[in-house]
Structure 1
Amino acid sequence: MLTATSAPALTVGVSLKMYFGHARTIAWARAVADIAREHPAVTSGAVDLFVAPTFPSLVPVHEVLAGTRVHLGAQDLATADEGAFTGEVSGAELHEIGCDLVEIGHAERRSLFGEDDRVVADKVQAAFRNHLTPLICVGEPSRASSADAIADVTGQLDRSVDGAVAAGIAGPVVVAYEPVWAIGAPEPAPDAFIVDVLAGIAAHVAARPELAGSRVIYGGSAGPGLLTRGAGGIRGLFLGRFAHDPAAIRTILDEAAALGEAAAPEVAP
């Protein structure tokens, strides 16, 4: 579980969705592990890096990542912890095999599999029950003003965590802001818009003490240069196909390291 006390300067994650086969996933994970073992942004703890492969690859990827600071995430979980739920994977088992966090509420889960706010909220509770950090995806379906987008996505966030708060089991979350209208679009969301919405989400989260230590990252077709252009207003990225080449992850980590160096105070001789 990602804890409040370990919150780094930046959080970078990758979901492989269902793009890779098993052998390619393991090879990719080995390459990422090699990068993580020597990259100063990761070894220093300045960047928290996580990866979310498919269910069958979780155990071998966990073994590949041993000795690195890379966190293991799952792309989904069941609402129940055990029982007759054919084809499902419980949060209890995900925790047992070494997962730290789990993705919940992605737009594809909502559109392709009919997951609504109730299902998302139940999955968030299942994650908390099993000591997994919920990676909660939020995003407005159509383009709107930044104020309207903030109202929409913070409403989604509240509905996803209110049940856990009422049950007394809520804690830090990772909020991945992914405007649905920008996913796979010819043009990405404007940088200034992204920074405004992320700031609005962060302010909303900060006003909820039960979510203390949470992180807010951006995942709408994110790529290189965005952290720099965000000028400190983008505190993490949730990467997709851009990160299929492990070298691209190194590029993002290089960018994060450069930002950290630029922000570091000068030390008098």
Structure 2
Amino acid sequence: MRTPFIAGNWKMNTDSQSAVELAKAVAAGSVDIAGKAVDVAVIPPFVYLQSVGQAVAGSGVALGSQDVYTESKGAFTGEISTSMLKDVGCEYVLCGHSERRHVIGETNELVNKKLSTALAAGLLPIFCVGELIEQRQGDKTEQVVTEQIKKGLAGVSAEDMEKVTLAYEPVWAIGTGLTATPDQAQQVHAFIRKLISELYNEQLAEKTRIQYGGSAKPGNAAELMGQPDVDGLLVGGASLKAEDFIGIINAAG
């Protein structure tokens, strides 16, 4: 049985006060987190990681980072290392988020290096994959996702793969108000699980959690997570409102 996993990616939002207030509200309002009926993480901007980590300490809400660099230290202006993230209490790290791929220009190869670096340091990657609208319209969803997964997981052992959460992000449904239907999400999630089975083994594929990330909100959370291969949600905009994010968490629990 896969424990549902809800992660809130705050992206480049909040300020120092609202970040702490949001974190405290999520920690206070979420049900049954300590009992692990659902795993929850908040992923604030780098500059608020420490204060948000302190705000959720002891609550069962985990802390995640939006990115990580491939080197441990040195002359890499603007980057952040695994040791820095662990120092402030991070457990999770996003790798390959669609905005990193399509806005910043990260390649599958760089995503693979970041994911491998995170694993080597004991961080838990949330590995994001997904297609653009023109790729979906061109019936290339499976082709795109296959390439992203094969290249992103290159060199990752089965033992390390057990620590990876996958997140399917239909890029056309992020920040647009559009949402993949539950059937559309399930179709791709089932394909991803089959691919993991082929790359590793069926037992590992059955244990791997696959989140859906694409305009998830309280009104569609339960239906999305009711699909057999949807194991949680990577939430964007709705994670910035405590009431909405708590509603999504409660729908999972």
The answer to whether TM tops 0.5 is yes
Of 193, 216, 225, the match for 2:184:
193
- 1:4 match: none
Q: Structure 1 residues 186-195 or 53-62, which shifts more?
A: 186-195
Maintained 8 Å contact 1:8/1:46: no
- 1:85 match: 76
Q: In 2, Cα distance between the equivalents of 1:150 and 1:100?
A: 30
Query: Deviation of residue 184 (structure 1)?
Result: 2.7
Q: In 1, Cα distance between the equivalents of 2:138 and 2:28?
A: 39
Write the mapping of 1:51-130 to structure 2, written as runs, cut at 5 A.
51-130=42-121
Maintained 8 Å contact 1:8/1:45: no
Residue deviations 1:71-100 (CA, integer Å, cap 9, x gap): 110000111111111121101221232111
Q: Cα 1:145–1:43, aligned 2, differ >3 Å: closer, same or farther?
A: farther
Query: Deviation of residue 150 (structure 1)?
Result: 2.9
Q: Cα 1:85–1:60, aligned 2, differ >3 Å: closer, same or farther?
A: same
Q: Cα 1:30–1:228, aligned 2, differ >3 Å: closer, same or farther?
A: closer
Of 152, 155, 180, the match for 1:163:
155
- 2:16 match: 22
- 1:260 match: none
Query: Deviation of residue 227 (structure 1)?
Result: 3.8
Q: In 2, Cα distance between the equivalents of 1:132 and 1:186?
A: 31
Question: What amino acid maps onto 2:107 in structure 1?
Answer: D
Maintained 8 Å contact 2:232/2:252: no
Q: In 2, Cα distance between the equivalents of 1:110 and 1:256?
A: 28
Q: Structure 1 residues 112-121 or 141-150, which shifts more?
A: 141-150
- Paired positions, count: 247
- 1:254 match: 250
Maintained 8 Å contact 1:138/1:176: yes
Maintained 8 Å contact 2:172/2:178: no
Of 217, 220, 226, the match for 1:226:
220
Question: What amino acid maps onto 1:187 in structure 2?
Answer: L
TM-score, normalising length: structure 2: 0.88
- 1:243 match: 239
Question: What amino acid maps onto 1:113 in structure 2?
Answer: I
Q: In 1, Cα distance between the equivalents of 2:142 and 2:156?
A: 22
Residue deviations 1:17-40 (CA, integer Å, cap 9, x gap): 01111211111111111123xx12
Maintained 8 Å contact 2:131/2:145: yes
Q: Which has the larger radius of gyration?
A: 1
Q: In 1, Cα distance between the equivalents of 2:89 and 2:167?
A: 22
Question: What amino acid maps onto 2:245 in structure 1?
Answer: I
Q: Cα 1:256–1:169, aligned 2, differ >3 Å: closer, same or farther?
A: closer
Q: Which ranges of structure 2 fall in alignment gaps of 5 or more residues?
A: none
Q: In 2, Cα distance between the equivalents of 1:190 and 1:170?
A: 28
- 2:144 match: 152
Residue deviations 1:12-63 (CA, integer Å, cap 9, x gap): 0101101111211111111111123xx12x2321100001001111111111
Q: Structure 1 residues 56-65 or 201-210, which shifts more?
A: 201-210
Maintained 8 Å contact 2:43/2:65: yes
Question: What amino acid maps onto 2:145 in structure 1?
Answer: V
Residue deviations 1:110-162 (CA, integer Å, cap 9, x gap): 22222111211111111011111111111111253798423321320121111
Q: Which ranges of structure 1 fall in alignment gaps of 5 or more residues?
A: 1-6, 258-269
Is 1:182 aligned with 2:173?
Answer: yes
